[in-house]
Amino acid sequence: MSLSKPVMRRERHAPRDTTGSPPTPTDGMIEITGVSHRFGDREVLKTLSLTLRERRVAVVGSNGSGKSTFARLLNGLQVPTEGRVLVDGLDTRTEGRAVRRHVGFVFQNPDNQIVYPIVEEDLAFGLKNLGLDKREIAARIDAVLTRYGLENQRQQPSHTLSGGEKQLLAISGVLVMAPRYVVLDEPTTLLDLRNKRRVAEAIRGLDQTAIVVTHDLDLVKDFDRVLVFDDGRVVIDDAPSRALARYVDAMG
Ligand SMILES: Nc1ncnc2c1ncn2[C@@H]1O[C@H](COP(=O)(O)OP(=O)(O)OP(=O)(O)O)[C@@H](O)[C@H]1O
């Protein structure tokens, strides 16, 4: 990719508020300051500094450019070799548990996320760990199954769900925990067109701030901000109309 010089056009954006309603918890921010990450001798993220405040942030870029590593830093799945990541002021290095409660993470392959053999058991698992009572657990599970059209799959063995249903269950399993932020790592990669649309719709409807790593440019064309990664750096940081056009151009 011939995008050697970082271009930062949009460092900060006001959160979208079309309702005139008072600030909501999603008005928080993730601050990434001087972050580098190394695996052995290999530096895969290079001195990143960014503030994320938008409701929909896309992370795109070529294979191996550091997108997933970046995503994993946001909820403390990975701690940076240098620099720091703060989520609403919580440092991922020292307050990992609290950060993970704030930031849900949806893996590319839902099979890595779905733990329990029956759909509703899988959704209940994290909620039991939170110490919620039975009624609250049932209410949250009902709400999320209805929202994602999985009501009829409640008792179904998780491994028999279709690919799209599994991805929706993985998203549901994160949302049921009521995080403020959701990071999704290539959520549509394994899906056919119909299920891509279903998951895209689910992402569009999220109340949470969402950060989505993807090669599916269509998925993010109406997002608030696009970060293009190349060789461990953010080389384009702009609105989708400009960022995606430049990216496609550079990929030639
Ligand atoms: N646990 C690890 N140990 C060693 N190297 C790793 C590890 N995780 C990632 N890497 C390397 O870091 C680099 C960036 O990987 P990353 O998964 O962040 O890229 P990506 O942009 O998400 O790629 P893709 O689009 O292919 O998913 C790659 O070269 C990868 O091989």
Give me ligand 1 centre to Cα 147, in Å: 33
Q: Which of 67-71, 81-85, 111-115, 182-186 has the lowest mean pLDDT?
A: 111-115
Largest CA distance in the chain: 55
Tell me: pLDDT of 221 over 80: yes
Over pLDDT 90: what percentage of the chain?
A: 71
Closest CA to ligand 1's atom 27: 63
Sorted by where each begins, the domain ranges of the chain are 10-15+27-251
pLDDT band, residue 16 (cuts 50/70/90):
very low
Tell me: pLDDT of 190 over 90: no
Residues flanking ligand 1, CB < 6 Å: 39, 44, 61, 63-69
pTM of the model: 0.87
Closest CA to ligand 1's atom 4: 39
For residue 183, give the DSSP letter: E
Give me ligand 1 centre to Cα 226, in Å: 20
Q: Say if the ipTM goes beyond 0.90.
A: yes
CATH architecture of 10-15+27-251: 3-Layer(aba) Sandwich (3.40)
Complete edge-to-edge strand list for the sheet that includes strand 90-91: 42-52, 30-39, 82-87, 90-91
Complete edge-to-edge strand list for the sheet that includes strand 209-213: 7-8, 233-238, 225-230, 56-61, 209-213, 181-185, 103-106
